Amino acid sequence: MLDQSPIAQGSSGADALRNTIDLARLADAAGFHRYWVAEHHGGPMLAGPSPEALIGPIAAATSEIRVGSGGVMLPHYSPLKVAESFSLLAGLFPDRIDLAVGRAAGTDPLTTFALQRDRRQAAPDDFPAALAELLAYLEDRLPPDHPFAPLSRTLPGLPHAPAPWLLGSSGQSAQWAAELGLPYAFADFISPGGEAIAASYRERFVDSHRLASPLVAVGVWALLADSREEAEYLSASSRWAMVKLRRGELIAVPAPDEALANLESERRSGRLSVPRRRMVLGTPEQARSELEALAAGYGAQELIVVTITHDHAHRRRSYELLAEAFELAPRDAVAAAPGAR
């Protein structure tokens, strides 16, 4: 599961973050394998700017599920700071922490600039070097004569370490993941049709101490309900929010009725020219068939499912139906009831 901590219209960011903890408990109890939280800045729709701050409370509220970032937007940070933060989390929650990193900003250009510590000029585009430095800290692989080499041996969570992943939605990210022998998570919900990119990653993959063979996860937007019609209706909230986002207008997640009215008005006026992103919508049986076909197309061993609804109860229900559809084995953890804190 990928949780972007959506903020429903009429609620607050604090509500969204409490919903994230609630949903993580459900995921743990239902038998999901991973629970990743995203990084987004400066908008009213998503309340998750700091995966490193949110992962600890989630891991503490759950018992077995892996918890991680989906992902840390590395250009905003010092590689050492990221290594220290995730080492700390790995030390507290051994063998449960994932560190997926990405190159994107997770926000608009102005907010990106506001996030910079040094604003005298634009930050350099040095992602490959920053990623290599981050991995070197986590694996204690800096050359002995490197001035930063001793820092690897003082990471707070040793001997434990997070499992690194690379996120992407382009051929360049696939190439880096393949060359470094990293598992690769492709964001189909952002850039659909990346099957050839995933194939390129598998073809170019270099066996490494990190991973013996290629590992692909595909991120997909899905919403399950008791009928296809209900799933379509509930998805209107996210569809309208995305239309506004692509126009540079950020809004909280609207109620379905309001969203449908706006979408219909746009269609009638001919203004709705934004292509609809890929969504898997329907009953458990319909969704499983479509998700399995999508995973097969990518050659993916894992699906990462993101769901956004206006009502948190509907998001919970969607993931409950997803667990049932894939016959996940429930764990002993107890899922909090809707609205529980």
Structure token pair of residue 253: 């997640």
Q: Give mean pLDDT, residues 257-279.
A: 83
Asked if residues 88 and 157 have their Cβ atoms less than 8 Å apart, the reply is: yes
- Tell me the pTM: 0.91
**What are the Cα distances from residue 3, in Å, to 6, 100, 224, 258, 316?**
8, 14, 16, 23, 12
Tell whether the model's pLDDT for residue 73 goes beyond 80. Answer: yes
Extents of the domains making up the chain: 2-221+287-325
Q: Which CATH architecture has domain 2-221+287-325?
A: Alpha-Beta Barrel (3.20)
The residue type found at 278 is R
Tell whether the model's pLDDT for residue 334 goes beyond 70. Answer: no
Q: Give mean pLDDT, residues 308-328.
A: 97
Cβ neighbours around 340 below 10 Å, total: 11
pLDDT tens by residue, 91-137: 999 999 999 999 987 777 778 778 787 778 777 788 999 999 999 99
Confidence band of 328 (pLDDT split at 50, 70, 90) = very high
Q: Give mean pLDDT, residues 49-70.
A: 97
Tell whether the model's pLDDT for residue 333 goes beyond 70. Answer: no
Distance, C-alpha 26 to centroid of its chain: 17
At residue 337, the pLDDT reads 42
Q: Give mean pLDDT, residues 276-293.
A: 92
CA angle at 101 for the pair 100 and 105, rounded to the nearest 5°: 140
DSSP labels, 157-216 = TTT--PEEEEEESSHHHHHHHHHHT--EEEETTTS---HHHHHHHHHH----SS-SS--E
Tell whether the model's pLDDT for residue 212 goes beyond 90. Answer: yes
Those residues with Cβ within 8 angstroms of residue 305's Cβ, 6 or more apart along the chain or in another chain: 1, 2, 219, 220, 221, 222, 291, 319, 322
The residue type found at 19 is N
How far apart are the C-alpha atoms of 272 and 40, rounded to whole Å? 25
Q: Give mean pLDDT, residues 221-227.
A: 97
Confidence band of 67 (pLDDT split at 50, 70, 90) = very high
